[in-house]
Structure formats: structure tokens, C-alpha cells
Structure 1
Amino acid sequence: MRKLLPLIGSHPGGRSAMTCRYRCGDACFHDAPNTSGNAYVGDVIAGALSRRSVLRASAVVTAAAATGAALTGPGAAPASAAESGAASGTAAGATRHARRPARGLRFTPVAPNTADAVTVPAGHEQNVVIRWGDPVLRGAPAFDADRQSAKAQAGQFGYNNDYMAVLDLPGERDRQLLVINHEYTDEVLMFAGYDADNPTRTQAEIGLQAHGLTVLVAQEERRSGRLTAVPRHHLNRRITGTTPFEVTGPAAGSDLLKTAADPEGTRILGTLNNCGGGITPWGTVLSGEENFNQYFANGDEVTDPKIAERLKRYGIKGGASERKWERFDRRFDVAKEPNETNRFGWVVEIDPFDPDSTPRKLTALGRFKHEAAEPRLTPDGRPVLYMGDDEKFDYFYKFVSAKRMKRGNSAAAREHNRTLLDEGTLYVAKFTGDSPAGEIDGSGKLPEDGEFDGHGEWIPLATGTTSHVPGMTAEEVYVFTRMAADKVGATKMDRPEDVEPSPRTGKVYVALTNNSDRGKDGKAAADEANPRNGNKHGQILELTERRNDPAAGRFTWNLFLVCGDPEDPSTYFGGFPKDQVSPISCPDNITFDVHGNLWISTDGNALGSHDGLFGVATTGSRRGQVRQFLTVPTGAETCGPIVQERRVLVAVQHPGEVDGATVEQPASHWPDGPGKLVRPSVISVWRKDGDDIGV
């Protein structure tokens, strides 16, 4: 009998209350902002789901076992990792394909665990590339938690690293350029003696500087996959909560964006809650502003009913904000600057090769809680971006540019390409299932045709200055995109987070993390794309554009993975035998390796184990075979994975973020061991023998 791992906290998806508090302003414990009555996928029956009392959380373990390498603090023992049946092939029903996993996934899977360490497969090593507070810019001091200042933080690596992009660095051998998001701050884990009711101005200003992005040059060791930061390189850069941004696109200069400090509505200070992102084919990096609503206070003091409705749809609440920045900066007080909230929730674009360039907020891509902005090119060379709105019952979008990309690195090409995301059409997705209503009962039971699938359409919202939504101007569509999508009947999804088009097949993969409110009284019931009421574990949706053209108006779709314990009948792993996969819960960031495998990082594992990184084959006879590559320390989330041929990079976000933890009473000792401050960090993992990952 398998031993169950203890559940960590009682918040939805396995998160701690602290995570919900600091990352998203307790979004899970407030009514979802989407109260529209949109149609759901197909005709559904709102029946009660008979919930299982317990889901088992450990892997299908065989007699074969292996030891994983764990990066811990000094004196800490490395964690062990048992090899699952997916690797050994000795489980009942094992096949030849199970004994020989897909190329790129041939490693000993790490077993679910709760070690306060980064646990990686046997035969692999790891190192910390950079920690919160490490110097990035010239003149930045070494990190000193007792003497931290806003000026120091502005030159140091930010907090809670999330999405990462890695670009080649021409002319500098064995070096790469990293762009890393910093989503949010955990003040109670940053400042000794922190008083949440009475933060100081210094603490608030440090917090602002710890948000944003870091551009960092990293040096690779030629004989291994070790990667180390190169501090004070001329390309290194910090973009923070006070960095000036240019507003571009059709809503630039709109009255909806104007404030006392920016009467033109074209220049915004700072970027906040940067989560997912993407790399454009012309070499810039995109970053999505996600849970921006939590930084703003006193939304209940707005008396204009129209403005109040808009604030509510974006989750702007009354009273003080969590961090109390409004006490020191009026722009975070909605009663004083009601338009300031409209200046966040965008995709931003930066040029990592030009540290003097002004980053931009791209209004043509719409405003919502952006989790991703992943591009493809149409056959005629126009960029298309796929974007998720990470909120329960919110939507999945895409943008199709009106212009073709120009190849090359000439000044003319660069100037042209910087306009590609300012002109085009913004769409939202409507999904339709192909199974009879009675076969979708909220339990997760597969319909008679053997899979959750169907077709869908892209509903246009706006093109340039033309609105396609009755009763809304184009500017209103871009600034209040959620409300526009409500009006056209988009499909309510289970928290669409990261999106990744396959570079091999063109299929688009969407991580739907979870939705514990699905099927609750008065809430949307299960549908074929979101087939489980009380959905704790999430799913991965696979979308195929018509004729494989990203600009197409129609698509087909299926659920590639329905996550959870493989022994739970409601789970599905692409048709692969469920006794030969690693359990996986709450998919978040995703990426592809050079072999065409999808890699999935998790956020809030509801099976009792720590979050981790998983690889899964998407094609061939091994399609759906999930294999766990690593786990992260206590309280941490796995973010921003980059899977290269010889290394894997992971952003270990919010280690030690456990209810009741403080600087004085930490819940984790990662990465530097007891007596040291817990610090979010980026790690590199490689094979000891120097060979490629998973071959």
C-alpha cells in the first residue's frame, strides 16, 4: 500500500495562505471577478460531483530505487528519490516503450517528496546561478539583509524569480543572456521584525525595486552544464517598479490611461507582478503583468458606478492594500488616481541587447492578468501571440499582427519590428465540446469517444481603432478586455496560465492550473474543456489551428493531460498507461526541449508533494508518459523552466513561503543552510558525465 504524503496547508491547489496573500491578494478566497453568464463548452449538466475523500500522492514505486542529488544548506542530508514504474518497466502492464522512454526523458524519475532541497535525478548535479540580492549592476553592493536599501536593491537581483528567457550572446564565447521576471515580494520573509500593519517607507521602496525584471549575462562551464552569473556586465540591467515605460499601440494616449503625473497617458512608471512571458522572433522579450490588482487600495471609495464596475471586474478591492504602498505613493490609492490601475495588466516588451532602451507596454494585446505571451509566425511572416488570463473562469486570447516581420538586424528592420505588436486583431477563444451533455457530469469520467475534445472559434474583439464589441469603443476593449470578452460569450476556463506552441508540430499547449470553484453553487459547472467540478489538479489543453495556420479563425482541441494521482479515475495521460507515469498536479509554466517533449512546472501541488518539474512526450507511442525531473524546497514553486540540450534552468520561487514563517522563524533553510536568510534563486542542473539531458 502506498504511503500518503501529508497535505501542506488547506488553501486551494495546495498553496499556503501566505502564498495567496502575497502573490495574488487572496484571489482564491474572493468571488471570481467574472460574473458573466457566458455559455460553456457544449451543453452541460450542473450535477453534484461525488468527491473522493483522499487522493493518493506518491508515485507508483517499484522495487528498483535510485538516489537523487539534492541541493541543500550546509550540513543537510540529500534527499533520496525512488524510481517510479514509469522508468523501471516492472509495473504490471509495462511495455517496451515504458522501459525505454522518449529521447530527452531518459533519466531516473524523482519520487514525490517533501525535502527542503532541490532534488534532481541520480547522476545529475546542480548549482545556484544567482540569488535574491546578488549584485547585478556596477556599483551594487553585496547583499546585506540588515543594511538593505532601495538604492542597493535597484542594482541587485530582484525577488521571487519567475519566467526566464535565455538568448545567445553573439561575440562572447560560452556566455548567454538571461531575462528573468520578479513577480512579487514576501515582505515577512525579507525584513526582520516586519509589521504588516505598519510597514516603513524604506521597506515599501525596497519592495518596489525588488519587482520587475533582471537582464543578466551568465557564463557556462564548457565541461558541464554549470552556469554562473557575470555581475556588472555592460548588458546587465534591472527594470523595477519605478522604471519609465513607453505606452504604445491603439490605447496609447487614451483618457483611460491619463493621470496627474502623466496627463498624456503615454508614460508609465514601473511594471508589477511579472509572471509568464515569451521571446519574439526578432529578439526582444515579452513579460506579462499578472496580479496587479493587489497593489491598489481604496477601490471602495470610488463613487462613479461605471468605474466601480470596471474595478470590480479586475479584482480591485476596498480598504488598504497588503503592502500599504498607497501610504507612500499616491498612485496606488485608487481614490486619488482611479486610472492608475488601468496602467497595469499589460504585456511589456524589452530589448535585452540595448540597456539604454525604454521598455514598452503594448496596449494592442489587451489588459488582463497576463500569464504568457508566446509567439508564432504565420506562413506569410506575421507574428501571432497566445495569452492566458490567470483567474478562475477567465479566458484564453490571441493577437494576430497586421504586419510581416522583417528579417535581419539592420536599423530599419529593428525599427519596423518594434511596431509589429502595435497593429493587428485581438481575439478571445470560444470552445465547444463534441460529446453529448449527459456524458460530461463533472466527475472527470471520459465520454464514450474516449477523450475530451471538440472545436472552437476565435472571436474578434478589436482591430486597430475598430471595435468588434457592441457598446464598447476600441480603447475600452483594450483597457477593459475582460469585459469585452464577457460580452461576446467567450468560454470560462480553469485558470489559463502559460501557453506554448510546439516548435515541431505547431500545436498550442495551454496549462489550466486548477479551479476549486468549478461547479459550486452559482458558478459555472463542468464542461468538456474543464471536465471536473472542484478541479484541484488542473489539465493541459492541446489546440490545433485550422490548416495549422496561427491566423486561422477556427481550431480543434483536446485535453492532452487531466492531472492528478494516476490511480484517480478522473485523470488522463494522453492515453498512456497510468501505472507508468509520475503523478502531477497544478501545471503552470511550460516549455519544450529540442526533442519535442513538453516540460511542465507545477504551482501548488495538491497531492502532498513539493512542486516539481516534469517532462512528457507529446507524440508517438510514448505520448502522455509523464516523468518527474526535480522537486523544489519547502514552500517553493517551480518557475520559468528552460530545458537546453546540456542543462535545465529553474527559477525556485518563494522558498519558505509557509503559513507562520518569518525571518526569525523560517520554514526553509534553502539555499544557504541554517542561520542564513531564505532567498529565491535560479538553479542550473546538468549531468555529471557531461552528456545531454535525458538521452
Structure 2
Amino acid sequence: MSIIEDRTPLPMADHVRGKRSAVTCQFKCANACVGPECNSSSNPHFRDIASAALSRRAMLGLGAAAAFSATVAALGGSSAPVSSPVAAGSGGAGAAFAKPKALGPLAFEPIAPVARTVDAFTVPTGYRWEPMIRWGDPLFAKTPTFDFSAQTPEAQAQQFGYNCDYLDIIADTNRRTGVLVCNHEYVNPNIMFAPTTDAAELQRRGEIYKMAQGFTVVEIERSRSDVRWSYVVGGRRNRRLTVESAFAMTGPAAGSDLLKTAADNTGRKVKGTLGNCAGGTTPWGTVLSGEENFNGYFAWAADTPAQKRYQSSATTTTSTGWSSYDARFDAHDPDYVNEPNRFGWIVEIDPQDPKSTPRKHTAMGRMKHEGANVIVAEDGHVVAYMGDDERNDYLYKFVSKGTFDPRPGNGARKKNMSLLEEGDLFVARFSGNSPAGQITGTGALPADGLFDGLGEWVALTRNGESAVPGMSIDEVLIYTRLAADAVGATKMDRPEDVEPNPATGKVYVALTNNSQRGSASALDEANPVTGNRYGHVIELTETSGQTGTTFGWSILLLCGDPATFGNAYFAGFPADLVSPISCPDNLAFDSAGNLWISTDGAPSTIGYNDGLFLVPLEGAERGRVQQFLAVPRDAETCGPVIHDQEGLVFVAVQHPGEDGAVGAQTSLFPDYGSSAPGDVPNAPRPSVVQVSKI
């Protein structure tokens, strides 16, 4: 039974401050903060690990691993534009929102912060917004019309999914057609359905939840006279991938005994994808997605160190209810004890070929991936940066074995599509250059005026082999967190999106927050704030080339509202001239190399709705945070796409009104009472929004 549907109190209700975190904790990350800390390592130095000669079985808690593995192996229509109740922001509210120097074609007057109780999508003066595609919108010619009160699994499988997150708008060479690609991370049962305790109805809803997650690929088009896009019902490339779709495993761990189940004795074929959060688009035109909070979909035994490192405590139920009727989601079952190991990967899909089989790349490691973003290095190898989105987990880098072929044509593209199947995996170790006594936990800068230092990328795999003593290659890749623990990686404040700047090659790391910093994890110069509620952004420079193993780093932003957090830091820019910002999540860049940040958690930390912010990185405006838009009540800003040369910005609006309930909704986004065909006026719908100049 879904915890929300029978209205049992939420486990995080007494542990959070703010308007919606308990609901997010339940459905998005399975109350990760309630249980014991997943990362209980003390992160000893690598030389200490080597000298200790760790026992593989002791570390992984596998016991008779070989015998167990042998046993498992033997088992066999476009939405109409809608105007926001607040269509333009109220910028110009004093010096803090004075119009900054124009920065490229998307010059705007920053909006004032929007109070967390406001149910409006807010944009600057001179801009307009409209939903591009919404939960339940049809994808195919024969797709049933969305009926909020009578949804079915069959209909949802042909409609735009729920809780859109990573987003890209990929134009064809003619610039008039293209595809929209979007992840669907999780569902919010409390605002999708009225409460019930009927077992058959809960199972039916569970099947809808399976169909509401995964991916959507949908064709888009525009006229010669308008830069704005609309989506195409029945487009040739339209596609849904769900929890029931077929995926293939690639890389060194594919076929491992640790990936085999009763339903797949090869360890190479996986049904479905889960927890798809951020992602990235590759230079060869495929889309990557990180499987993040996959653990929350399984009932777990959590009786070995390896299992506990991904799910800190045992569970017998899940919010989707799947484990009660679908054996593969019950990891207590010996036939499916390895099923969780088949999730937590980077997934690659080809949006141009609706018949292609998406792949999960084991060479890139298994963790709670926020996403992966690829850049072509100086020597032609491709480098992917990744964050493991849990408090006190790590930052990773993958370097391909092969090199990128820039030539046009399908031959080169086919070669490039194999680049993420083989390569070396690294984890980051940070060191600061200030005395420990100057890192006070308050956010006060050390004597040299910067939180900065050096770092190294420590190898977990090399040339297809394990670089971690005592662990095999498949163990390193399947239990990547344990491998990173062993080499002394630096615990970070929830590393989420990690993006290389295409204009400079510098890498930016969004660290959303960490309430346990200073208690469960020690302070350090890269994570310098005790109980870090507001998060920070690190700027990283590879000092030995993009594929090298050394880097320099500094903190670009210590987030927060300067009015209440006096040590908020904005790359040295005057704090009284910035927009307040909290909980950085997803990152993007415009054509001039400016950083754009979307947030997740501002309402519960600084009291404002989440939004999208511009941050210049060069010159006199460096560090000047400027708010471009705000999403509605209870919503999170996801998947920013910045097409500034066309005057377009796109965001995915996730879980609007998540703190409400059917019959008592707290948001009516995006239809706001409209009775136009296809609208659902009295319920919130996660949507992709297109913002354009008027």
C-alpha cells in the first residue's frame, strides 16, 4: 500500500523544515535521511588500504560469494498556450534587482524572489511562457485523451510521463524540426489519485506508475516566422520508454554473476529504468540519463555492507507498492536479490531511432547518478563527469578508451556510440590550501580570501581492470561506492549536476546541501559550512588536461539569502546586488559561456519558490546571480535548456503542488482553470515550459 494513499504520517515529517520536503523525501529519495548514514567510511588513504590488504569478501559482505553466484546463474495534440496569473516579474525592486549589464541576446531585468505560497510561473518583463507538453498529453495518433479521473496503464504508456527532469531540445540541421527528449523521474501518488486501501486498485495504480516513469522522445516543429516550438502528435521518432522496456547492459560488468536474476541468467538484459534524474547530450547526438534514487523502488534486506552502502536499512514496503505483487522488486527474494544491482547506471538512448535498444553502461560505475555530461578532450578521448547525489558521497570522472570521430555520417556515429562502453573510472579527492583552523563552519572566508585548493582523480579502474586492491572489476563497477570509500575519496555535500563549460573547459559542480556536514562528516575547505542548508557551487580546472589526474578548484558560490546568511559568497561580487539563491541542482550554459542554475529546495530553506538563475563567469559581472524565472508553488526547476541566440529558454517543471491532495490541490499549474480542450483545470501537471521574448 502506498504510504501517502492511506495518509499514514510521512517518516520525514518531523525532520524537515519548509513546505514540501517530507513529500519529496518519501517519493523521490525514499527518506534517505531517516535511516543510518549510507557512507559510514572514514576514508583512509589509499596506501593504508593497500597495506591492510582488505579481504574482498569482508568488504562486500558476500560470504560464499562464488557459491551464491553459481546458484543464481543456475536459475533460470499540442497544448494551447496558457498565460500565467503572474506573466511577468516585478523586477527593479531596489538595488538588489537593478538591471545588470546586458549579457548577450537574453538580456533581462531580474525578477524579485517569489514567495513560496505563490502558485504562478513568473518570468521577466518582456518575456512570455507557455507549456510545451504536459503530463498526459498524447504522443501517438491513437493515444486516448488524458482523463485525470480515469487514467489507465495503457493510456499512460502512450502519453507524456510524470515528473519531467532532464530535458533537451535537439534541432535537426534544417532548424525547423527536431526532437524533445525528457526523463520522468518518479511519481506523486497523493496528487494523482484519491486515497484508497483497495488492494486491486492499488495494484492497478502501481502499473500506471510504471508507465509514467522513464523517458519521452517526441518530435517538434516550428514555422519560418516563429522561433517557438510545438510538439508533433504521431511523429516518426515519438517514443516512450518505461519501467517495462528492454535495456541492454554493456561494459566490463555486463554478464557478471552479480547482475543475474531468475528472469535473466545472462546478466545482460534488464527490464526498465528507474529514478531517471539529470542527464546529458553527447557530441554524437545520443542522450544520457542517470538512474538516481533507484533503491526506493525495492524492498531490501540490507544485510551486507554492499547492500547497506546503497540502502542504509532494511525495508519491506515501497511507496509504489510494486514489491507486494511483482517479485523483481522484492530483493528479499533469493531469485531477485541482484535486481537492485541492475539499476543505478548511466543509460544511453538514441532519440533518432525509436527501435533502438537503450543501453546501461557498467564502465561508468553504479551509484545514485544525478547525470553525466560529456566533453571531448584535447586528445580526442571523451570525458564524462558525474555526481553521486547523496549526502557525503562523491564526484566521479570517466575517460573513454577510444577517441571521438568528428566526421559526419552514420559510420562515425556508430563508432562514437560505443565510446562509453570501455574506459577508466576515477573518483575525486580534494585538498584545501588553508589551515584547518580557518575553516570554521560558518562560511567565513579563510585568510587568503578563497575556499580553494588542489585535487586528484584517483583511479578505480584502469584498462578494463580493477585499480582497487581486493576488488574485482565487476565488484568495483557494481559496488562503486565501496571502491571509492577504499581509495579515500572526499565526501561531498550532495554532488548533483556536474557540467563542463563548452566555452572554457572548466567544470562546475552543483552541491545541493548537506544537513549532516560537521556532524556525520567533518568540515573541509571544499565543504566548509556546518549543516549546509543552502548548498554551493565549485569551479574546477583540469591542470593536467581533461583526461589528466590533477585539478585545481575553488568555490564559486556559497548559496543563501545574504539578508539571513551573512557569509553567502558570490565569487567576490557584492552580496547586496545579487538575487538570493538556494539549493543549486541542475546546470547549463548559454552561447557566451555564462552559467545557468536551476534550484531544488529554496522554499524550505530561504522561503521562495525555486527558479532559474544566470551567473556570469567572466569580467566585472562574475558571480552576479540574477533570477530569470520562478516556478509555481511546491515545484522544482529542472532540465534548463538555454537557446539564447533564439531568445528561448526551456525548463521542466517537476512536482507542482506536491504538498496537496486530490480535492485539495495546492497548485493548478499549468492550466489554471482553463477549459480549453485537453486542459485539466483543477489538478497540477508536471510540464515542459517554453519561455520566449514577446
Could you tell me which of 83, 89, 95 is aligned with 2:92? 83
| More deviation, 192-201/251-260 | 192-201
Q: Is this contact kept in 1: 2:111–2:628, CA < 8 A?
A: yes
> What is the aligned-residue RMSD (CA, Å)?
2.1
| More deviation, 425-434/160-169 | 160-169
* Matched residue, 1:471: 470
* Matched residue, 2:237: 235
Deviation of 1:415 after TM superposition, in Å, equals 2.8
* Matched residue, 2:374: 375
* Matched residue, 2:286: 284
Q: Is this contact kept in 2: 1:39–1:491, CA < 8 A?
A: no
User: For residue 542 of structure 2, what is the amino acid of its counterpart?
Assistant: E
Q: Distance in 2 between matches of 1:667 and 1:433?
A: 45
* Matched residue, 1:613: 612
* Matched residue, 2:415: 416
Pairing 1:543–2:540 present: yes
Q: Is this contact kept in 1: 2:291–2:369, CA < 8 A?
A: yes
Deviation string 1:88-126 (CA, Å, 9 cap, x unpaired) is 65xxxxxxxx75243356311111113201100011111
Q: Distance in 1 between matches of 2:138 and 2:164?
A: 15
Q: Distance in 2 between matches of 1:83 and 1:270?
A: 48
* Matched residue, 2:592: 595
* Matched residue, 1:178: 180
- Residues 86, 268 of structure 1: alpha-carbon distance in 2 compared, 3 angstrom cutoff: farther
| More deviation, 19-28/260-269 | 19-28
TM-score, L = length of structure 1 = 0.87
Q: Distance in 2 between matches of 1:530 and 1:611?
A: 23
Aligned residue for 1:226, secondary structure, equals coil
* Matched residue, 2:168: 165
Q: Distance in 2 between matches of 1:13 and 1:443?
A: 22
Deviation string 1:17-61 (CA, Å, 9 cap, x unpaired) is 111111111113333300000269xxxxxxxxxxxxxxxxxxxxx
Q: Distance in 2 between matches of 1:297 and 1:541?
A: 36
TM-score, L = length of structure 2 = 0.88
Give the fraction of aligned pairs with identical amino acids, expressed as a percent: 50
Q: Is this contact kept in 2: 1:391–1:496, CA < 8 A?
A: yes
Deviation of 1:280 after TM superposition, in Å, equals 0.9
Q: Is this contact kept in 1: 2:274–2:343, CA < 8 A?
A: yes
* Matched residue, 1:16: 21
Q: Is this contact kept in 2: 1:364–1:464, CA < 8 A?
A: no
Deviation string 1:268-306 (CA, Å, 9 cap, x unpaired) is 000011001111111111000000000001425xxxx5x
Q: Is this contact kept in 2: 1:279–1:374, CA < 8 A?
A: yes
Q: Distance in 2 between matches of 1:88 and 1:334?
A: 52
RCO comparison, higher one (Cα < 8 Å, 6+): 1
User: For residue 22 of structure 1, what is the amino acid of its counterpart?
Assistant: F
Equivalent residue runs for 1:536-575 within 5 Å: 536-547=533-544, 549-567=545-563, 568-575=565-572
Could you tell me which of 192, 200, 211 is aligned with 1:190? 192
Q: Distance in 2 between matches of 1:356 and 1:162?
A: 23
Deviation of 1:222 after TM superposition, in Å, equals 4.5
* Matched residue, 2:531: 534
Q: Distance in 1 between matches of 2:421 and 2:322?
A: 32
Aligned residue for 2:249, secondary structure, equals strand
Equivalent residue runs for 1:289-688 within 5 Å: 289-299=291-301, 308-315=304-311, 317-336=314-333, 337-520=336-519, 523-547=520-544, 549-567=545-563, 568-605=565-602, 606-645=605-644, 646-658=647-659, 661-674=660-673, 675-688=681-694
Deviation of 1:167 after TM superposition, in Å, equals 1.4
Q: Is this contact kept in 1: 2:19–2:634, CA < 8 A?
A: no
Aligned residue for 1:17, secondary structure, equals helix
User: For residue 25 of structure 1, what is the amino acid of its counterpart?
Assistant: A
Q: Is this contact kept in 1: 2:667–2:683, CA < 8 A?
A: no
Aligned residue for 1:118, secondary structure, equals coil
Deviation of 1:638 after TM superposition, in Å, equals 0.3
* Matched residue, 2:55: none
Q: Which runs of 5+ in 1 are unaligned?
A: 1-7, 41-70, 90-97, 689-695
- Residues 9, 682 of structure 1: alpha-carbon distance in 2 compared, 3 angstrom cutoff: farther
Q: Distance in 1 between matches of 2:26 and 2:610?
A: 19
Q: Is this contact kept in 2: 1:296–1:341, CA < 8 A?
A: yes
Deviation of 1:551 after TM superposition, in Å, equals 0.3
Q: Distance in 1 between matches of 2:17 and 2:543?
A: 36
Could you tell me which of 153, 161, 185 is aligned with 1:150? 153
Q: Distance in 1 between matches of 2:109 and 2:383?
A: 37
* Matched residue, 2:61: none
Structure 1 ranges of 4+ moved more than 4 A: 12-15, 71-80, 84-89, 194-199, 221-225
Q: Distance in 2 between matches of 1:342 and 1:254?
A: 10
User: For residue 18 of structure 1, what is the amino acid of its counterpart?
Assistant: V
Q: Distance in 2 between matches of 1:378 and 1:644?
A: 24
Q: Is this contact kept in 2: 1:648–1:685, CA < 8 A?
A: yes
Aligned residue for 1:122, secondary structure, equals coil
| More deviation, 274-283/320-329 | 320-329
- Residues 429, 85 of structure 1: alpha-carbon distance in 2 compared, 3 angstrom cutoff: farther
User: For residue 241 of structure 1, what is the amino acid of its counterpart?
Assistant: V
Q: Is this contact kept in 2: 1:13–1:537, CA < 8 A?
A: no
Aligned residue for 2:337, secondary structure, equals coil
Q: Is this contact kept in 1: 2:138–2:160, CA < 8 A?
A: yes
Deviation string 1:47-86 (CA, Å, 9 cap, x unpaired) is xxxxxxxxxxxxxxxxxxxxxxxx9988956575242556
